[in-house]
Structure 1
Amino acid sequence: MADFAFAPLGVADPNAPTLAARLALRERPLGAPLLRQQWSDLLFMHWPVPAALLQPLLPPRLRVDTYDGLAWLAVVPFKMSKVSTRLTPPAPGTDEFLELNVRTYVHLDGVPGVWFFSLDATSPLAVWVARTFFHLPYLRATMRLDSPGPQLRQFTARRTQGRMPAAIFRATWKIGAPLPPAEPGSLAFFLTERYCLYASNKAHTKLYRGRVAHQPWPLSAAQVLHYESTLVESHGLPTPAGAPLVHAGGPVSVELWPMQRV
């Protein structure tokens, strides 16, 4: 990708999504969703990074989405539940599992979305479905989520699938007071209000986009009491510097539409 030109840090991207484009994606897509699920006990952990650090890791047509010139790298643990398809109700044993993803924010021709470097999950079936039908880099892992107090969460994970370097994650956080809805144009809005996801094949020769729909994230303040992880490093990226910007989120009911090649 050496011949792929992108705006260096500090230079405006002429194709960057407008606020109107970001808001428009809140509208529920037409047609029936493929999947329904609920996301809860979520922790957004975000670090600002130079866009030039992440751009070479993306498919050539995708560009890093930035806020005030900076890209953002995130590690996000959460619980997924009430998983069902449009044809089947939730199935016991497969409708609830834990997930942990490493992500950044991108756009294609001004349409903003999420790019996942990896998604670790405890459900082998979910891993297979996501890799087969959504082209997403899911990996199997063992995980545990505990609630030692009403506002405390402890999340541990260890990747068990060998197609990527081993990785561990341990975090304890305290959920604080509810926050007002993220103001359009704010950093919290940029980081959390995302209604598209992008994926590609391994060679980055095919690109896919999928739509999701949900109510704006119910966010709360959060304090990370303990954190250790090698997830980011498993992608060949340097350890994020400094304390992350954190938000607790959920629960939120989510609908997902089939991926479309773009």
Structure 2
Amino acid sequence: MVPRPWLMEQSWSEAVILHWRLPVRVAAEHMPPGTVPEVFDGSSWVGLIGFRMSGTRLGTVLPLPYLGSFTEVNLRLYSRAADGSRGIVFLSLDAPRLPVVLAARAAGIPYVWSRCRPTSAGRPAPVYGYEVARRGRQPGTCFAVRPELTAQADDPLSLHLTARYGAHIGFAGRTYFLPVSHRPWPLHPAELVHIEDGLMGAAGLAVAGPPESVLFSPGVRVVVGRPWSVPAP
């Protein structure tokens, strides 16, 4: 658990979690100072994740019923630093709440103001998906999965990709680690129903074929702690 006082707490639910292999040298180009790509099975990994955020509170007291409830889709890499922190490096985070986007960008977090919505359906079997439409002619994304809710995904790759308890963020020439705490994600294997993605290309990445890892989680409750500075390289 991250130490109090917390910055905020919130719920992340109906998470669709897709991952592809990425050459380590490519991931290294996007790492903030003092961090390097984390490697699993000889590769770095890039993730495309959609989920619903809700129940946000500043600290543990002040609820944010509108600004803290929205759909988010983020594109991410995975990092580690000499201080032992293992985290996420966000390439983009799409969300529909403009005040949230502006505040996050001011802190170095690369949010993008977009039309971002869930595309879930319940019949004949539950399908969970997300769609992003950026302003103008910018690329977006649309993807959906059908989870196998009676099965658990507890293989080493799934656990490696989701056991992330913070983010490395480059800001004003330095790198900070923003810690989060939550119970391990409850994970289910899933079948990819469809994907049409332009966010990878917009971030300067290219991947081959469908995602190697396709997961679904009903979600977790999260607390966000205070950031600390990562030692300079």
What TM-score does the superposition give when structure 2 sets the normalisation length? 0.90
Residue in structure 2 matched with residue 6 of structure 1 by the alignment: none
Letter in 1 for 2:190: A
Match of 1:253 in 2: 221
In the other structure, the counterpart of 1:241 is: 208
Tell me what 2:5 maps to: 32
Counterpart of 1:18? none
* 1:2-17 matches, cutoff 5 A: none
Of residues 159, 162, 166, the one that matches 1:192 is: 162
- The residue aligned with 2:132 is 157
Q: CA deviation at 1:148?
A: 1.9
Match for residue 121 of structure 1?
95
- SS of 2:183's partner is coil
Q: Is the 8 A contact 2:34 2:81 kept in 1?
A: yes
Aligned to 2:21: 48
Q: What percent of counterpart residues are identical?
A: 28
Corresponding residue of 1:17: none
- Provide the C-alpha distance between the structure 1 equivalents of 2:128 and 2:152, rounded to a whole number of angstroms: 22
Identify the structure with the greater strand proportion. Answer: 2
Matched, 1:220 2:195: no
Identify if the C-alpha distance between structure 1 residues 97 and 56 changes in structure 2 by more than 3 Å, giving closer, same or farther: same
- CA shift at 1:67, angstroms? 0.6
Residues 44-99 of structure 1 deviation map (CA, whole Å, 9 limit, x = unaligned): 10001110111122223210000122100111111111111016432332231010
Q: Aligned to 1:177, which of 149, 164, 170?
A: 149
1:146 Cα deviation (Å)?
3.0
CA gap of 1:181–1:255, structure 2 versus 1, over 3 A, is farther
Q: What's the offset of the Cα at 1:255?
A: 0.4
Q: Distance in 1 between matches of 2:129 and 2:219?
A: 17
What letter is aligned with 1:255?
V
Cross-structure match for 2:48: 75
1:210 aligns with 2:185: no
Q: 1:210·1:260 contact (CA, 8 Å) conserved in 2? A: yes
Alpha-carbon distance in structure 1 between the residues aligned to 2:23 and 2:185: 26
After superposition, the Cα gap between the structure-2 partners of 1:188 and 1:154, relative to the gap in structure 1 and judged at 3 Å, is closer
The gaps in structure 2 that reach 5 residues or longer are none
Quote the offset at 1:175 in angstroms: 1.8
> Secondary structure of 2:145's match?
strand
Structure with greater contact order relative to length (CA < 8 Å, sep ≥ 6): 2
One-letter amino acid matched to 2:110: P
Moved more, 108-117 or 224-233: 108-117
Query: Matched residues in 2 for 1:38 and 1:229: separation?
Result: 26
* Shift in CA distance, 228/129, structure 1 to aligned 2, threshold 3 Å: same
SS at structure 1 position matched to 2:62: coil
8 Å contact from structure 1 (residues 151, 176) kept in 2: no
SS at match of 1:147: coil
Structure-1 separation of matches of 2:21 and 2:11: 28
In the alignment, residue 155 of structure 1 is paired with which amino acid? Y
Find the residue that maps to 2:9 and give its secondary structure.
Answer: strand
Structure 1: runs of 5+ lacking an equivalent: 1-27
